[in-house]
Amino acid sequence: MKKVIVIGNGMVGYKFCEKLRAKADASQISLIVYGEEPLPAYDRVHLSEYFTNQSEEDLYMAPRSWYDEHQVTLKTSQLVTTINRDQKTIQTHTGDTESYDYLILATGSRPMVPPIQGVDKKGVFVYRTIEDLEQIIAYAKTVKRGAVLGGGLLGLEAAKALMDLSLDTQVIEFAPRLMPRQLDQAGSDMLKSKIESLGIQILLNKNTSQIRGNGKLDGLDFADGTTLETDMLVISCGIISRDELAEKTGLETGKRGGFKVNEQLQTNDPNIFAIGEAASYNDMVYGLVAPGYDMADTVVEQLIGTGNKTFTGADMSTKLKLIGVDVASFGDALGDTPGSTPIAFEDKNTGTYKRINLSSDRKKLLGGILVGDSEAYGMLLQITQNGMALPPNPEDLILGARGGDSGTEMQLPDTAQICSCENVTKGDIVCAIKDKELTDLNEVRSCTKAGTGCGACSPMVADIFTDTLKAMGQTVRKTICAHFDYTRQELYSLIKVKNIKSYAELLSAYGSGDGCETCKPAVASLLASIWNEPILKQDTIQDTNDRFLANIQKGGSYSVVPRVPGGEITPDKLIAIGAVAKKYDLYTKITGGQRIDLFGARLNDLPKIWRELIDAGFESGHAYGKALRTVKSCVGSTWCRYGLHDSVGFAIEIENRYKGIRSPHKLKGGVSGCRRECAEAQGKDFGLIATEVGYNLYVCGNGGANPQHAQLLAGDIDEKTAIKYLDRFLMFYIRTAEPLNRTSVWLNKLEGGIDYLRDVVVNDSLGLGEELEKDMQALIAAYHCEWKEAISNPTMQAKFKHFANTDDHDPTQHFVPMREMKKPAEWGLVANETK
């Protein structure tokens, strides 16, 4: 029987134990694990979640009982200080001695702390362990300002933590851009803009020369002569391999640290292996969890005697959510390959940046960057890794189809690696589903381990699961998430039939666990769509902007959009908007939906602005919610010599009918008075175009990044019939669409397409017509102006403050003049003004 000792009980050390026990029991290999921390292995990838619930158990890779059940001896709070290679023994700081046949070094890494003068002052922390986080949480209660040194992955996670602790937060980065190893300048600029909009200040090109303070930190000095006042500093400048045992043991190390290993992960001692961040392969230390897991698997293969698997490097592609922003990079992200040709798309309005790098012959995808929208990451990574042929128009990979098939729904080979953390291929997943007759996605994850690591592959695992079941002729139920074993449509029915009014009530009765960022907004959307109650009464919020009934803008200010039905507005109301804008110094702009947008409102001014607008006869325009935004109109027969009907009057009637109704996604409408289509009705979720005898009703169109023309639902119908069909169409969409699916996406997924939809809405093939109309009438009857509700309720109104103990404005918000109005100041200008 072989005796194996593992030094280090982090994520990779634990994964080695798990993989070894899956192939060899205690009668074949005895296993002892030494962990320096007092806790069993926990998930450092999701370490920031500790700030939310402060639960160690929720982060455990496995409970202590797992080690006992699998006959793994776990010794925590034990630091191994000596390795005797001749006698093949180790010794801990407590004097505990143990012999081994094989030794696995999974010592991980420690934070790199730059040699800055004053780094030992009180108030300076690193961000690595649960103990570090506990110290940060405790100290944060005593201060108001916090800074993070380092703008990489962990640095931005640390910044999110400080922000959640209600600290005025800054990020300091030595390089000229954030995440310099993963993002190009444009991608970094987009990420910077998104983060700054949340109120976190980003300082780039900053070389910290000194940490000031008399024993306790009170500020930082930079090499360029500027300073920063702060009360707390978290250092996150990268990692250094824990290879302290190498020098006195005679083990070789790489140029950048780490135990030097070969393709079998052996050190210069064939009985000692190194894995994870402790290992240096070809002078490269891999700081991601996936390569570490692959190393663990390789060593297990060596120990059980097969020895076929080797480690020859790893792909460093990664997908993350940083401070609520999707960020991904894959393959040759920065386009370093000679002849590489980039294609980039940037939308500052939505905060989206996408870049792909093509080979010089434009036939292969080399890599790319995604910021703000990483939905396509899984497929793009597979195209890159498998050298798959590109569609005729490669830009469709990031822009989507612009008429016709995009060609991006490609058939992956069975050899495609879907989960890099656990080295699971598409073939592994498909075989498991078929051979073991798996009918639940969680069973697939449990059986194959796919999606249980960093989670980036989860969407693709779900797609393969769904496609495989369909190919087997089975019905697929798309449950909303792991906490609810119901589809959205089933939850809709449960909420309505059982008269459920809150997320907590639904979770208690029909869910499990504590919920997640998928089911909470989805259920909030359902509750809003079914009951049409004030959104602020909910214990979860459908959308970030719903929290303050306004759209957060660059610099942390808000925009206010009063409803202007059909775009028609009286001179008195125009004067009222002008007066409010002038009083509160707001930037004003007429939108593409024929409304007036007021930008630059401070949080504590919102209730006062709303009150003045309400007194002038305005209502909330619901520009912040997944609800009806506008019904655009031309001037119609009232003024236009080509107009056939009163398109303005009909648009006003329709907008007032559906205002405030919540839906899976935002809704836009249009009414054109003739076929010249000045209201662009065919680019809306629903649109009406006047004909000689009535109106043509079009549905399921949209503009934006992936425009789609609306399709004809019914032709030459009168206004009463048009409203009846609209009632049915909108309620059918609200009932059956998946969360965050616009009507165009919903129709594309609807089996039978527009013909089936026409049968349901116009021909009433399901016999639901009267029920859908009745449900719509109930929502209309429940309408309320959410602004008016908020200012009439003292509890709700109290939420609209920058600070809990004062009504003052946020002093960090700055504006600069622009064309006789104002705009948010760039952070660089703010820093120069305040230093």
Write out the two tokens for 278. 């402790």
Binding residue numbers for [4Fe-4S] cluster = 634, 640, 674, 678
State which H helix or E strand residue 559 sits in: strand 558-560
- Measured distance CA(271)–CA(274) in Å, rounded: 10
Residue ranges of the annotated binding site are 634, 640, 674, 678
DSSP assignment letter at 548? G
Q: Which residues contact 64 (CB under 8 A, 6 or more apart)?
A: 40, 74
Read off the tokens for 508: 């208690």
Residue 690's CB is within 10 A of a number of other CB atoms, namely 26
- Judging by beta carbons within 10 Å of its beta carbon (0-12, 13-18, 19+), is residue 615 exposed, middle or buried? exposed
Q: Is 403 left (phi over 0), alpha (psi -120 to 50) or beta?
A: left
Distance CA 241, CA 82 (A): 17
- Give the long-range contacts of residues 828-834, CB within 8 A, separation 24 or more: 830/201, 831/201, 831/203, 831/226
Residue list for the binding site for siroheme: 678
CB neighbour list of residue 384: distance below 8 Å, 6 or more residues apart: 317, 330, 331, 365, 366, 367, 368
Contact (Cβ atoms closer than 8 angstroms) between residue 740 and residue 666: no
328-354 burial: b if 16+ Cβ within 10 Å, else e: bbbbbbbbebeeeebbbebeeeebbbb
Beta strands per DSSP E along 586-634: 587-590, 596-601, 628-633
Alpha-carbon distances, residue 54 vs 9, 64, 724, 745 (angstroms): 21, 19, 52, 39
Residues with Cβ within 8 Å of residue 418, at least 6 apart in sequence:
378, 382, 424, 425, 426, 428, 429, 450, 457, 460, 461, 464
